[in-house]
Amino acid sequence: MLYAKGNVVEIACSNGTKPLNSIYNELGCEKHIFPFSRSPFSKCNLIAYKQLKGLVEKEHYDIVHCHTPNAAMITRLACRNVRKQGTKVFYTAHGFHFFKGAPLKNWLMYYPVEKICAHLTDVLITINHEDFELAKKKMHAKKVCYVPGVGIDLSKIQSVECDRAEVRKSMGVPEDCVLLLSIGELNVNKNHQVVVKALARLNNTNVHYAIAGLGDQKENLLNLAKNLGVESQFHLLGYRTDALKLYKAADVFVFPSFREGLSVSLMEAMASGLPIVCSKIRGNVDLVEDGVGGFHFVPNDVDGLTQNLKNIIDDTAKVVQMGDANEKKIKMFSLKNVLDMMKEIYNAR
């Protein structure tokens, strides 16, 4: 969208494990690789700060738009001088690390940093209603906005065609099973272990659970599935580039995270017409209406999750109704709608 309006766009990021989206190469977008770290205690962040500060002071960008807590802190500190010269600093908070029910350490560590850095922010963009209300009251950025996520291309998702049997074969799951699907990193926050436990309690060998993603919890999840006797029903797919086909091959999308901002994978699953069973947390409740598009459960409540899954698995009519409801609800989170809102924010700078 920015390129189409005649802008020059550059990107600064770490050299992460996932490949950079090829669109950056297609557009000729210049990339600056800095050693940003997710850990606030990493010395790499100091190096990244110095490198980024040198870049922004050399190039004098009109807008610097940052994402993720640590990188956004570094960026806003690095841009202190150039803001005095006219550079505007935008920050999209994809879910504050402090939220209702968050551990006290999250509030002690992240809240003061975000509150201080808000003073160095021209536009603070939030993507769920809980964060928006908190930011309006507590974060003194020059401007606070709500945008419903990063936007998803509904036409692209809903036009996907796939051979369900072939996709399931590539996943290593039976063609006629009831397939639960999750997409996301294999980390503690994504909370996949609660689904593995629920899978065991369902005691139904025709139900299988697949996760697409990489992460440090792989061995722990495999060991848990083995100890619970469901290893043959549990499938780790690794990093997949065909996520949109995976949704089409699944029956239920399960999203058990402890913390989210507004999940793209959850939105994609809704646009694919899947019923959802998700944790009752900020962001998820913005998307999925309990009892209409799926069911909510408390993240650690294995019994509640098990019952929700059983309610959907045992009622094929409900699967269709919930899938239809999600396809209607997700329209307000479309890429077109989000881009229209972002245009207004950029133009009003």
Span 119-164, pLDDT tens digits? 999 999 999 999 999 999 999 999 999 999 989 999 999 889 899 9
Q: Tell me what pLDDT residue 85 has.
A: 96
Instruction: Indicate the average pLDDT of the chain.
Output: 93
DSSP lists the bridge partners of residue 32 as 12
* H-assigned helices in the chain: 23-26, 44-59, 69-78, 80-83, 104-118, 129-138, 154-158, 164-171, 193-202, 218-227, 243-249, 264-271, 284-287, 302-313, 316-329, 335-347
DSSP 121-158: -SEEEESSHHHHHHHHHH---S-EEE--SS-B-HHHHH
Whole-structure pTM value: 0.79
Q: Is 171 helix (H, G, I), strand (E, B) or coil?
A: helix
216 pLDDT more than 70: yes
d(CA 12, CA 349): 21
Q: Average the pLDDT over 276-280 and give the result.
A: 97
Answer whether 295's CB lies under 8 Å from 256's CB.
no
Report the percentage of the chain scoring pLDDT > 90: 82
How far is 347 from 205, CA to CA, in rounded Å?
55
